[in-house]
């Protein structure tokens, strides 16, 4: 099993490929334990330990459970694996949570205590930006600063308006969009609105924002519904896009949109269309 710099190299490779994983680090031990403070293990989304070592089966099950949970909700965890009698002395049982610590039973003969910090490392969320309007350009630039990877869907002749992007798609053919893309901003502003919105709601299962008025969005929803689009997908479209901050300029509108995406991402809000 790999150790030290090998773990960091593997972690960097997984980050570059956009693959989620969890890093488990032993932060404290009491009495005899197989692994010592500082020991690390890299746990992939399928539950396999690809590098490092944090001890035998005594702690493995609890740490793997914590890793699965951390990858599911994006929150780090501290797991304390203790002998049953030590848990009982504290009025605890396996599976209890107290002060942010998850407690588990150590069933090994060593009867030591080991605290393990489990941190998820998730790929950057991808935002699909449709169109090449000033708002689209501003959203792409600002979203990248806030940790989003950016996919641009715009005609080839308009791609030069964007200084940088992680992925460029010619027009609104989204076949090359990364699976699991959870954010889309349609900022075509009169140039291919219907085609872009149809593509976005078909490819993105989460947040979809349309830069335009309530009336324009309602008209597009009706047209797409008549064309066979699923009502549930259309109901997710937020219009006007972004938080209500009184935005006027393209940069201000982009700020309101990216702020809303951050809110959805961090608070795990349900995506509900504006009335």
pLDDT tens per residue, range 168-204: 999 999 988 887 788 999 999 999 999 999 999 999 9
The CA dihedral of 237, 240, 242, 247, to the nearest 10 degrees, is 170
Output DSSP code: residue 124: P
Residue among 182, 205, 184 nearest 196 (CA):
184
Residue appearing with tokens 């000033």:
134
Which secondary-structure segment (H or E) carries 125?
none
Which stretches of 134-221 are assigned E, i.e. beta strand?
149-154, 167-170, 183-186, 207-210
Tens digits of per-residue pLDDT, 101-132?
999 888 776 678 889 999 998 888 899 999 99
Q: What is the pTM of this model?
A: 0.68
Instruction: Write down the pLDDT at residue 109.
Output: 66
Range 126-267 classified under CATH 1.10.287.1770: no
Which regions of the chain carry the CATH code 3.40.50.720? 126-267
SS3 185: strand
Instruction: Write down the pLDDT at residue 86.
Output: 87
Is the pLDDT at 50 greater than 80? The verdict is yes
Query: What's the token pair of residue 108?
Result: 């090994």
Instruction: Write down the pLDDT at residue 2.
Output: 44
Residue 35 CA to residue 149 CA, distance in Å, equals: 37
Residue 142 CA to residue 106 CA, distance in Å, equals: 47
Mean per-residue pLDDT, 135-157: 95
Confidence of residue 164 (pLDDT cuts 50, 70, 90): confident
Instruction: Write down the pLDDT at residue 4.
Output: 53
């Amino acid at each position: 099993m790999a150790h030290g710099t090998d773990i960091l190299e593997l972690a960097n490779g997984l980050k570059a490929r956009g693959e989620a994983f969890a890093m488990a680090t032993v932060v404290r031990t009491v009495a005899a334990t197989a692994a010592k403070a500082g020991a690390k293990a890299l746990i992939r989304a399928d539950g396999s330990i690809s590098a490092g070592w944090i001890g035998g089966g005594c702690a493995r099950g609890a740490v793997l459970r914590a890793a699965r949970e951390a990858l599911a909700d994006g929150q780090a965890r501290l797991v304390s694996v203790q002998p049953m009698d030590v848990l009982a002395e504290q009025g605890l049982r396996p599976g209890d949570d107290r002060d942010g610590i998850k407690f588990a039973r150590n069933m090994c003969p060593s009867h030591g205590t080991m605290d393990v910090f489990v941190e998820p490392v998730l790929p950057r969320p991808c935002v699909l930006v449709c169109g090449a309007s000033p708002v689209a350009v501003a959203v792409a630039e600002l979203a990248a600063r806030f940790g989003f990877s950016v996919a641009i869907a715009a005609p080839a002749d308009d791609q030069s308006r964007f200084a940088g992007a992680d992925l460029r798609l010619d027009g609104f053919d989204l076949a090359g969009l990364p699976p699991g893309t959870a954010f889309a901003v349609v900022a075509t502003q009169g140039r291919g609105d219907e085609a872009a919105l149809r593509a976005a709601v078909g490819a993105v299962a989460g947040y979809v924002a349309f830069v335009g008025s309530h009336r324009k969005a309602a008209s597009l929803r009706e047209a797409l519904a008549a064309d066979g689009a699923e009502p549930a997908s259309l109901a997710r479209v937020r219009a006007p896009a972004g938080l209500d901050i009184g935005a006027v300029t393209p940069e201000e509108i982009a700020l309101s949109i990216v702020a809303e995406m951050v809110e959805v991402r961090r608070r795990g809000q349900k995506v509900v269309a504006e009335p």
